[in-house]
Amino acid sequence: MTSSAGDGVRPTRRVLDRLGVPIPVLTTLLHEVTDPLIAKAQSVPHDVESGGGERIRTLSDRVWFKVKRARQRGACTQLTAGELNALTISHPWWLGAAGTRTADSRTDFYAELDTYGKDSAELLPSEWDWRRLEAEAATLAVRVTRAAMQQAVSRALVSGDIIVVRLGERDVRIRIRVLPDGEAYVAISFVNSMETEFMVTVLDAIPGVDASDWQPEPTSPLHLELEPGEMIFSTLLSIEVQQRLAAVST
């Protein structure tokens, strides 16, 4: 089971629709969406951990906590360990309902919650919510990989040393040699990874270098001693690309 793209209280698609919040791009984590009620919900886990948190008593099949902000109201819950263990990606806290406090009205938030009573399963995250979480995690992983690789290549360019980057359970090694004409020969090797998608993400992280520019190396260039199963790709970096990479480390 992998961890989620964040630790906040995530609003479900149902809540986003109710609040009129557009679905943001994948680089925006849903619990970081700019909305007053969603922002207020982020304090609930801490309140509960500190012995606070106000329960919604009309929902009796599981524990739901109130979220209050002016006349806005919400209901959030923490998934159990058993529920999380059944998933490939986890996120414990969810904002499952939102509405407005209008006492003595059928449109009152708590009056609407009364209809769920002993079965609040409809308020829990749906398949869409889990797919969105997985997509966010994948997008975040790509961003982290790109940033780490650009920093590592920049260091290799400046130092001339072999730089090793640990990305999850995988090792990536980089070495660069500047040629007499000013271009730089770069070799990137993959250790403990034969996953095409991962290798493409790594090779695509270098700005100004097209994926088709990388060529597999059958031998060991730049004194990179090959380990069993290791794969090496190489290309040339123009002076312009080197200048962009050098700026990363400044």
Helix residue ranges, H only, 95-180: 109-114, 127-159
* pTM of this structure: 0.70
The stretches in the chain having pLDDT less than 50 are 1-6
User: How far apart are the C-alpha atoms of 218 and 198, rounded to whole Å?
Assistant: 20
pLDDT per residue over 49-61, tens digit each? 999 999 999 999 9
pLDDT per residue over 222-233, tens digit each? 665 666 677 889
Question: Identity (one letter) of the amino acid at 37?
Answer: L
Q: Coil, strand, or helix at residue 40?
A: helix
- Maximum Cα interatomic distance, the chain, rounded to a whole number of Å: 82
Model pLDDT, residue 4: 42
| Bridge partners for 170 per DSSP | 167
Model pLDDT, residue 5: 44
Model pLDDT, residue 53: 92
Return the H-helix or E-strand segment holding 166.
strand 163-167
